Every structure is written in structure tokens, then in C-alpha cells.
Structure 1
Amino acid sequence: MSNEKPAQKDAYDLILEAIDVGVYKPGDRLVESELAERFGVSRTPIREALQRLETQSLLARDGRSLIVASLDHNQLAELYVVRSELEGLAARLAARHAAVEEVRVMEQMIAADRKLISNPSALARANRRFHRQIHLASHNRYLVQQLDLVYRSMALMATTSLAAEGRGETAMVEHEAIVSAIKAREEQAAYDALKAHISNAFIERLTQDSEASKAL
């Protein structure tokens, strides 16, 4: 029998995942001792992870404390520009390189995700899995790496555009159009469909932010 133990997530991944799922939101203070206790690791790897996250601009300084960073309007716009182009390229390459089995998995994801429309947080997690499947289907490791960086920054968004009324159902229709183009090997159509999908998500997010600012 093998004595190998399953690989454990390191402190960096644990903190990043906690930010991604909303355990820690923009503005929340991160304390070494509390993180070490929560994740059951020593303070040294926690300290190193915090330094790495700060270097990547996922954490910011508030006096002597480290807090989860937030994105201002310009940063959000810049992020969506880069995301749109990279994801569009991923869809284009997926239309060229995706295996039949990979396309089938995308179709199965859409069918499963439709059952989550009434649960925005679960749908948001499923949405990330769907997009990553497209990234992987591009069969370009360097593109996947860059998109991973983009999605790390997206973890700084406190809300999901999929929470907006009707957005979940619309997003599923858009996903179907993307996969249909990939399946048909229509590279330009796949690129255009994914860019339109990201554009619509950005419009929804700007609308959400505008309404939130009115409520203040």
C-alpha cells in the first residue's frame, strides 16, 4: 500500500480561496494569529503568504494592518478590458483545439448550472469552473497562466453580477452561444460570443455599483 498522503493546500492557496469564496471581503483585516488558528498552520507560512498576496496587490496596507484590497472604477475597467481580450482569445483557440470530449463537458456544465440560477453564489462558483474549462480547452499553457492571474484579481469583487435579476438565465444563454461556436469550430464567432458575454457582465456590474452608490 502507498503511504503517500494527498497534497495539502499551502497557506497562500488557503487565504486566496477564503477571499475568493467571500470569507474575507474587500476591506476586511487579516491577522496572522487568527489566520494561523483558522487554517491550522504556523505563523511563518502565513506571514510569507500575506507578503506574497500584498506583492500581487490582493492585499493593501491600512496603517500597520493588511486588509483585503478593493478595486476602484478604473481598476475594474482595466481588469475587464484584459479579461475580455484574453477570454476571447481562449474561446478562439478552444474552437481550434478543443477535443470533442471537452466540448461535451462544457455542454454538461451548462445543463447542470441551469439548476443553480436561484443561488447566485453557487452559480458564480460554477461560472468560474465553466470559464476555466474554456481556458483549458485553448490548449495554451501561457494563456491559462495569465487568465489565472486575472481571476485572482476578480476575487476582490465583493459581489457577483449573476445576482442581478435575470442575469443568471441570460448568462446561460450566452454560455450556450459560446459553446455552440466552439463546437462548430467557428473561431471568430466563439471570440465574439465570449467578448459579448464579458461585456454584458461588465455592464451589469457597473449598474450594480451605481445603484449601490445611490443607496449610500
Structure 2
Amino acid sequence: MQTESTRRRLRELILDGSYPAGSRLAEVEVAETLGVSRTPVREAFRALTADGLLSTAGRGVQVVRLAAEELAQVYRVRAALEALTAELAAERQRAGRLAPAELADVAELADRTHRATADGRLTEGVRLNREFHRRVAELAANPVALHTLDRLWDQIQVSTLRSLRAPDRTDLVDAQHRELLAAITAGDPAAAADAARRHVLDTCAADRLTD
């Protein structure tokens, strides 16, 4: 499946900043970079445009770059969805449907995220932070919400990567992660939803200040 492989590899290059937000992509250049023909690149462009990572620009495409207001709108939707997935995860925990090992895995991710950001390993911290939030969403067992969140996370990551800097709220982020995990572990859906929503909206405020 060369088309899928090309889409996946191009997506990775976009998310790690190799193709930064706002940059124009040409089929020939990308095909040479990936060592494939133009056909799978063209299909990858279409797929990633449908996913919201690319947008049409004349006869070509460019990496999405959300303006401050657009970014705020995406964050508000993300906040609502993460509140939902946190609530569902807590409900599953209360019903005895989450294994202790699943929660332990999320706690370990919180530890690794905090260590990476505190040590200034920013790119790794971004990756681990997203992995932490995705793992929480997976606990909800709602594939529709997870798929939608993946698309929103992609847009946010690309749009904020250019302003990546040494964190000045590392301890707050870690505390909010712990609060969210504690509410899920306690099987408290309302507290989990509230913790998730507040955390995402706080992150939105911080990212907009660096836009």
C-alpha cells in the first residue's frame, strides 16, 4: 500500500516541522524526498487535505496554518471532546472495565512527559504529551471521538510548533495531568470532565499568548 505509506510518511514530516505551517508543497519535490512517484504523493495530498493538515493553495497545497481565532475554535472543540472522553473513561473505571495496568501506563506517560519538558527536551515533550492525551482518550473506548481528536491534535501541533519554547508552566501542566488521572482513577466522571476541559482551555490560552 504505497499510497498509505506515503501519506503516513508525509504526515510525519509535517508534524515534526520538516514542512512547517504555511509552507507550499510540490508533488515533484515531495516525491523526490520520499523516493516515490507523483501518483501516491497526489493521493497523499488529497487524504491529508481531507484530514485538515493541508489546504488548497492555487494549483497546489500548503501545510495548514491556523490563525489565532481559528486555533481558539479548534481548542474549544478539543476541550469539549476531551471532557467527553475523560468522562467516559471515568464511567468505565467506575464500572470496573478498566484494568489497573491501563491506568498505570497513563501515569507512566505523565511521568515521562514531565521529565522531558522539565529537562528542556521540547520535541520529545510534545510527542509524549500528545501520547498521554491520546491514551486517556483511548480509555473512553469511543473510536469516533478518538478519530476526531487525532485530526484536531494534528492541526494544533502544526500550528503551534513554530512557537515551541522552554515551558514556563511545566509544574502546572503536570499537576493538571495528575488531577485528570486521579479523577478517572476515582471513577468520578464529572470531576474528570471538568479537569480535562480546564486543562485544554488553559493550554489554549498559553498557546495564543505565544502566537
Q: What displacement does 1:161 show? A: 7.3
Q: What displacement does 1:115 show? A: 1.8
Q: What displacement does 1:45 show? A: 0.4
Scaled by the length of structure 1, the TM-score of the pair is 0.86
Indicate the residue corresponding to 1:213 in structure 2.
none
Q: Deviations over 1:111-145 (max 9, x none)?
A: 22222011222101100100010011001122212
Q: Deviations over 1:35-87 (max 9, x none)?
A: 11222222100011112223444223444332212111221121011000000
CA distance in 2 between counterparts of 1:137 and 1:57 reads 25
Aligned residue pairs total 203
Q: Deviations over 1:167-203 (max 9, x none)?
A: 2232111101110111111111111111111011011
Please identify, of 61-70 and 101-110, the stretch whose mean Cα deviation from structure 2 is larger. 61-70
Decide which of 59, 66, 86 is 1:64's aligned counterpart: 59
CA contact (8 A) 1:123 1:162 kept: no
Indicate the residue corresponding to 2:175 in structure 1.
173
Q: Which has the higher contact order (CA 8 A, sep 6+)?
A: 2
Decide which of 171, 187, 211 is 1:185's aligned counterpart: 187
CA distance in 2 between counterparts of 1:8 and 1:65 reads 18
Indicate the residue corresponding to 2:106 in structure 1.
106
CA distance in 2 between counterparts of 1:106 and 1:44 reads 40
The reply to whether residue 146 of structure 1 matches residue 141 of structure 2 is no
Q: What displacement does 1:148 show? A: 1.8
CA contact (8 A) 1:29 1:66 kept: yes
Give structure 1 regions of 4+ aligned residues with deviation exceeding 4 angstroms.
none
Indicate the residue corresponding to 2:89 in structure 1.
94
CA contact (8 A) 1:135 1:144 kept: yes
CA distance in 2 between counterparts of 1:162 and 1:37 reads 29
Scaled by the length of structure 2, the TM-score of the pair is 0.87
Q: Look up the SS of the partner of 1:166 in the other structure.
A: coil
Q: What displacement does 1:21 show? A: 1.2
Aligned pair in 2 of structure 1 residues 163, 189: CA closer, same or farther (>3 Å)? Answer: farther
Indicate the residue corresponding to 1:38 in structure 2.
33
Identity of aligned residues (%): 32
Aligned pair in 2 of structure 1 residues 165, 55: CA closer, same or farther (>3 Å)? Answer: closer
Indicate the residue corresponding to 2:44 in structure 1.
49
CA distance in 1 between counterparts of 2:68 and 2:3 reads 36
CA distance in 2 between counterparts of 1:28 and 1:170 reads 33
Aligned pair in 2 of structure 1 residues 57, 139: CA closer, same or farther (>3 Å)? Answer: closer
Unaligned runs of 5+ in 2: 93-97
Q: What displacement does 1:11 show? A: 1.3
Q: How does 1:71-82 map to 2 (within 5 A)?
A: 71-82=66-77
